[in-house]
Amino acid sequence: MEIVVQKFGGTSVADTEKLYNVCKHIIKEKKKNKKVVVIVSAQGDTTDNLIKQEKEITEVPNKREHDVLVAVGEQITAAKLVMSLNKQGYKAISYLGWQVPIITDSNFGDANIIQVKTKKVLKELEQDNIVVIAGFQGIDENNNITTLGRGGSDTTAIAMAAALKAEKCEIFTDVDGVYSADPNKSKNAIKYEKISYNKMLEMANNGAKVLHNKCVKLAQESKVKIVVKSTFKEESEGTIVE
Footprint of Mg ion on this chain (CB under 5 A)? Answer: 9, 151
Quick one: 85 or 134, whose CB is closer to ligand ASP?
134
Contact region for ligand ASP (CB under 6 A) — 79-87, 125-133, 146-154, 200-208? 146-154
Q: Looking at residues 95 to 124 of the shown chain, list those that interact with ligand ASP (rule: CB under 6 A).
A: none
Stretch near ligand ASP under the rule CB under 6 A, chosen from 87-95, 151-159, 174-182, 198-206: 151-159
Judged by CB under 6 A, the stretch of 13-21, 111-119, 145-153, 228-236 that binds ligand ASP is 145-153
Cα separation, 16 vs 4, in Å, equals 24
Kindly state the smallest distance separating residue 153's Cβ from ligand ASP, in Å.
3
Shortest Å, Cβ 33 to Mg ion: 29
Using rule CB under 6 A, residue 76 touches ligand ASP: no
SS3 per residue for the chain = CCEEEEEECCCCCCCHHHHHHHHHHHHHHHHCCCEEEEEECCCCCHHHHHHHHHHHHCCCCCHHHHHHHHCHHHHHHHHHHHHHHHHCCCCEEEECHHHCCEEECCCCCCCCEEEECCHHHHHHHHCCCEEEEECCEEECCCCCEEECCCCCHHHHHHHHHHHHCCCEEEEEECCCCCECCCCCCCCCCCECCEECHHHHHHHHHCCCCCCCHHHHHHHHHHCCCEEEEECCCCCCCCEEEC
Site string for ligand ASP, 202-231 (x = CB under 6 A): ------------------------------
Q: How far is the CB of 133 from Mg ion (least distance, A)?
A: 16
Give the contacts of 62 (CB within 8 A, at least 6 positions apart).
Answer: none
Pick the closer one to Mg ion by CB: 47 or 129. 47
The option from ligand ASP, Mg ion, none interacting with 239 (CB < 5 to 8 A, set by class) reads: none
Residue with Cβ nearer ligand ASP (129 or 173): 173
Comparing CB distances to ligand ASP, the nearer of 54 and 180 is 54
- Per rule CB under 6 A, is residue 10 in the interface with ligand ASP? yes
Nearest to Mg ion of 151, 238 (CB atom): 151
| Cα 228 from Cα 123, distance rounded (Å) | 28
Residues 29-68 that bind ligand ASP (CB under 6 A): 41-42, 47
Q: How far is the CB of 196 from ligand ASP (least distance, A)?
A: 23
Strands, sheet with 194-195, edge to edge from the N-terminal-most edge strand: 92-95, 130-134, 35-40, 3-8, 168-173, 226-230, 239-241, 194-195
Binding site for ligand ASP (CB under 6 A): 9-10, 41-42, 47, 73, 135-136, 150-153
